[in-house]
Amino acid sequence: MATLGFASMPAARYNRPMKRKKQAARKTPAPASTRVAGRPRVARPGSRAPAPISEPRSFEGACHCGAIEFTYTTTLPPPRWPVRLCQCSFCRGHGSRSTSDPSGELQFRFERPEFLRRYRFALRTADFLICKECGTYVAAVLLSGRGAQGVINLNTLRAPPKGLRPGKPVSHDGESGEGRRARRVLTWTPVVGPV
Ligand SMILES: [Zn+2]
């Protein structure tokens, strides 16, 4: 898909622990036999990049009746996706598992826009997209200085990705509206196209 250039995008924060591990490993001097005599050791181009970045992969999702569809694109392999079990009463009620990638991309298609319900509650900082026809909670979006960003309910992916982590319960009680917005801007997925 001809959209964002993933190579030029900021590193996903979820890559950081692996990066540290790799850098630590590199400090160990290589065995003499692997060094090239007389050549200064120069960092390889791109060696500071938080490898391993895999090719972007797209995952299709939708509500049950297909009125709301989306494509989620990420370079993170499913075993490295964050899987959040938000403990607010809305997310518990829907049994939702959320994921996002600030270096990824989310694109919605509202095939039946008349079925789209935008639900706001509590601090009213985001729109929760629910299908009026089939009742599925699909995703949430917010508008920020960086444009629209969203988080998907990964239970709505058409094919469940293999190797996902078990969900991690998270609670954001006590957060201010500003704090909530700031956290989401850092962690949610940029949305392209209609929101
Ligand atoms: Zn539906």
The CATH number that domain 57-192 falls under is 2.170.150.70
Closest CA to 139 of 168, 186, 97: 97
- Say how far apart CA 157 and CA 45 lie, in whole Å: 37
pLDDT digits (tens, 9 = 90+) for 41-94: 444 554 455 555 679 999 999 999 999 999 999 999 999 999 999 999 999 999
| N-to-C CA span, the chain | 19
Region 29-40 average pLDDT: 45
How far away, in angstroms, is 192 Cα from ligand 1 center?
21
Determine the distance separating the centroid of ligand 1 and the alpha carbon of 89, expressed in angstroms: 21
What does the alpha-carbon distance between residue 184 and residue 193 come to, in Å, rounded to a whole number? 19
Residue 116 Cα to ligand 1 middle (Å): 8
Question: Whole-angstrom Cα distance, residue 63 to residue 97?
Answer: 14
Most confident of the following: 18-22, 46-50, 154-158: 154-158
| Nearest CA among 140, 70, 69, 76 for reference residue 102 | 76
Report the percent of the chain where pLDDT is more than 70: 73
Residue 63 Cα to ligand 1 midpoint, Å, equals 4
Residue 180 — very low, low, confident or very high, per pLDDT cuts 50/70/90? confident
Domain boundaries, the chain: 57-192
